[in-house]
Chains A and B, each alone.
Chain A
């Protein structure tokens, strides 16, 4: 890994007096600095250590893996993985830039602490330096913006509405997600399946489940008929508002089977905290079998065709206008 090499070099050549615990750098210029004492003063050595640390710390982090996760999901959809790469790259940049600035502040604090009552030189500008630290952020921001636009175009790209096949002949599965106070309806207009569930109290209940096939394009049509909700699945690295009056569409290409928790992220009233759902990604054959079973058990669309988009789901409980449904009221009609 070239980055690790740089990191090791920064450490070893920057600290000649220190015993070299790491492996010698692969390039031949290490030249046994352990035996010869450092030529510079103690302060210079200190400074080299600082520079070495500043360069090595972020590089050591990135050196192990091109895309360290930094606590985020690596994504189980193609879109989520794209987003993750952008996030990881920006985070690495942020750690390097922020780390350097932070170390610069820290170093300034230590170096220029008051040690005598001598009056410091009263300078107040340095035009070349000021130009430099204006131009460098412009370049960094330009690069970040370019990567952002590229990723954004991939993440936001969707198949044409009502397309049943992608250009490469893969099927497109349409799912209409209706968010409501407080629950979710997942309708599959092409399959005549509709699953809905309200929030329920109690640990272990994860709300209704949206079943999707892996390896195929899932086009989600996201709507709400009451207030704004947020459709968010952590492992998809994606969220989108369910906005009254707006029909939002996005594509998901789930890559791995599994069950992924999702949740409403936009405050939507009393039971916002419990507006959970899960997404279960299964193989296409399992998905087809599941759809048939759902139809057999009567979980079909309330209205034919696209009418389901415009009508509130029948099992949405009707708010009585007070907005202060008791838990019993809110859950009584499921």
Chain B
């Protein structure tokens, strides 16, 4: 037996506590009606330190921001559907694409994953009663909400919101070229949400390292939680650099420094180095959680264990390690970076990513696949990310980057990557864990309509953008010459964007129907694998009243299918005892 059963006292260094400090351990009678002695209703949402409440707050906030940013995208697409549209002015257009990118990347894709789903699911998956630092977790959310409102408030000030693109290249972002308060609000929002991310990163690391249930060794942690651990480490590497860069830019703007301006002896390209040293890990901070969701979903709907579990873990770690050394592939056309080095490292990311693809295929291979909505969205992710990934390999080549840099080819590439991950995989995760979070099912029919509309809209929107980019259309332009011949492709792309927009009406309808006439989900509607499917839906206040034996990465499956247990070769014995005693949960005084 290699299982380590740690004494309960050692694995709960921080006692999770509600506002009244009642929670010294688990509620032993926790069931459908937990004894949660804190406030209820709106006051509970405002004061709770429960990871489940905070996770739901994160998810609701980030989805609202997702819809706002999506509406901005529709305005952008209408503007581009004709060569010289006067729907919005150039200034408004610049604000719109800046805020569309900023909301989607800083305020939706990241927080939805590591603040929303991870906050909710990771403690459940590792068998913890809460995050390691519940109050810090609450602070993360409120910093995130405050930062989001700060960024949005740019639309209310004179001069409008930030309008220099989500990358804020100096010297366009300095006080001379972007004097408005919108730019300052944008920078402050990055500082606030950056700290929110850092605190969540600390919390996730501590939770996964210290609050795992007895028997939950690191190589039995589900891949979603593994990916969140690696993401959290990347957050701790990347976000402090962003904060430093933001402070320096703020000093340039207000305190007369010349860090990023040539006139005072500064170096504009330093901003790009600092920003992308954050920005490329950030791409994987956005992607890895979603890889993790898909990696948890595919085995469940294949009725098989994950193929190549350890390969998946090492692939994730390789991607994370490489992602800290590829930032200058965003800067190939600056003429001041060492091209072969950054090109080679960028290429190398394709290798662990390819391993992931084959592991996903290997998981489905020989399985019994059922295409419920979460699985459908996961398949959408596979195809979308395959396309975005293949075009990404092209962009790792500096000469090909020279010919496509800052054109719609790149726009199409990263939208396919990010929609593949944050939207396809993100909604796969949402449909997958919604029954756990709310104890009720989403409708399959509406879910499938949502998927197919999104899937069709996705290809209609972004495939023409590759073509128009190769035909020379630069990104971030509000108008183009009618003689360029880009109109037809842009019209197709705009139609696709509206199909994507319409697909979310099915999603909202689904939420509405589920809310109005609930179908109870039960504890384990999908025949799930990981620990979260062992507890009630929604889980009680401190998640578990008892735990199954944890002998593999899918304890719930092993418990429910004694004849088909996950048996790993190697150190773990092949023959398991028929009846193992259920162990007490972490942190429970007995």
Contacts and interface: CB of A to CB of B under 8 A. Distances in A.
Contacts of A82: 399
Contacts of B402: 83, 155, 237-240
B391 A94 contact: yes
Interface string A238-264: 111101111010100000000001011
B39 interface: no
B94 A109 contact: no
B572 to A, nearest CB: 12
Given A104-B361, A133-B358, A203-B83, A122 B397 contact: no
Contacts of B400: 83, 86-87, 90, 148
A319 to B, nearest CB: 7
A267 B386 contact: no
Contacts of B334: 241, 243, 246, 248
A265 B159 contact: no
Interface in A259-314: 261, 263-274, 276
A229 B272 CA distance: 14
B190 interface: no
Contact of B366 (A120, A130, A141, A319): A120
B165 A72 contact: no
B382 A137 contact: no
Interface stretch (A21-29, A38-46, A95-103): A95-103
B479 A102 contact: no
A241 B333 contact: yes
Given A112-B366, A152-B399, A226-B171, A273 B90 contact: yes
A270 B569 CA distance: 63
A230 interface: yes
A114 B403 contact: no
A4 interface: no
A319 B177 CA distance: 9
Given A109-B364, A323-B179, A114 B393 contact: no
B348 interface: yes
A11 interface: no
Given A120-B302, A124-B308, A261-B472, A108 B364 contact: yes
A161 interface: no
A118 interface: yes
B335 A240 contact: yes
A90 B305 contact: no
Given A71-B467, A226-B177, A270 B386 contact: no
Interface in B372-426: 379, 382-383, 386-387, 389-391, 393-394, 396-400, 402-403, 405-407
B162 to A, nearest CB: 12
A73 B473 CA distance: 13
Q: Determine which residue in A121, A141, A276 has the highest number of CB atoms from chain B within 10 A of its CB, and name it.
A: A141
B383 A270 contact: no
B347 A141 contact: yes
Interface stretch (B191-199, B217-225, B238-246, B480-488): B480-488
Contacts of A137: 350-351, 354-355
Contacts, number: 277
Nearest to B331: A241
A232 interface: yes
A76 B355 CA distance: 39
B412 to A, nearest CB: 11
Given A240-B402, A266-B406, A70 B476 contact: no
Nearest to A244: B262
A148 B399 contact: yes
B394 A87 contact: yes
Contacts of A5: none
B471 interface: yes
A121 to B, nearest CB: 6
A275 B368 CA distance: 56
Contacts of B569: 125
Contact of A125 (B307, B389, B467): B307
Nearest to B395: A90
B67 interface: no
A206 B482 CA distance: 11
B509 to A, nearest CB: 27
A241 B335 contact: yes
B440 interface: no
B335 A246 contact: yes
Contacts of B483: 203-204
B382 to A, nearest CB: 5
Nearest to B400: A87
Prevailing SS type, chain A contact patch: mixed
Given A137-B351, A243-B269, A248-B335, A90 B365 contact: no
A122 B390 contact: no
Contacts of A322: 179
Given A203-B482, A323-B179, A113 B371 contact: yes
Given A83-B399, A86-B400, A227-B177, A109 B379 contact: yes
A323 B61 CA distance: 33
Interface stretch (B8-16, B69-77, B337-345, B452-460): B337-345
B355 A90 contact: no
A321 interface: yes
Contacts of B396: 148
Contact of B369 (A97, A109, A152): A109
Given A133-B358, A234-B472, A273 B480 contact: yes
A133 B355 contact: yes
A318 B283 CA distance: 38
Nearest to A119: B564
A238 B267 contact: no
B501 interface: no
Contacts of A126: 307, 362
Contacts of A244: 171, 262, 268
A162 interface: no
A144 B349 CA distance: 13
Interface in A147-202: 148-149, 151-152, 155-156
Given A83-B403, A148-B398, A226-B177, A124 B306 contact: yes
Contacts of B397: 86, 90, 144, 148, 151-152
Contact of B355 (A114, A134, A239): A134
Nearest to B176: A321
A272 B399 contact: no
Interface string B481-519: 111100000000000000000000000000000000000
Contacts of B25: none
Nearest to B410: A265
Among B371, B387, B389, B405: residue with most chain A CB under 10 A: B405
A72 B306 CA distance: 40
Given A108-B365, A232-B472, 11 more contacts: A71-B466, A71-B467, A72-B403, A108-B369, A109-B369, A151-B399, A206-B481, A230-B474, A239-B333, A239-B405, A321-B176
Interface of B: 83-84, 90-91, 93-94, 159, 164-165, 169, 171-172, 176-180, 262, 266-269, 302-309, 311, 333-336, 339-340, 343-344, 347-348, 350-351, 354-355, 357-358, 361-362, 364-371, 379, 382-383, 386-387, 389-391, 393-394, 396-400, 402-403, 405-407, 466-467, 470-472, 474-484, 561, 564-569
- Of all A-B residue pairs in the complex, the 4 with the closest CB atoms, nearest first, are A234-B472, A265-B406, A237-B403, A98-B390
9 contacts: A71-B467, A90-B394, A105-B379, A120-B304, A232-B406, A239-B406, A244-B268, A246-B336, A264-B474
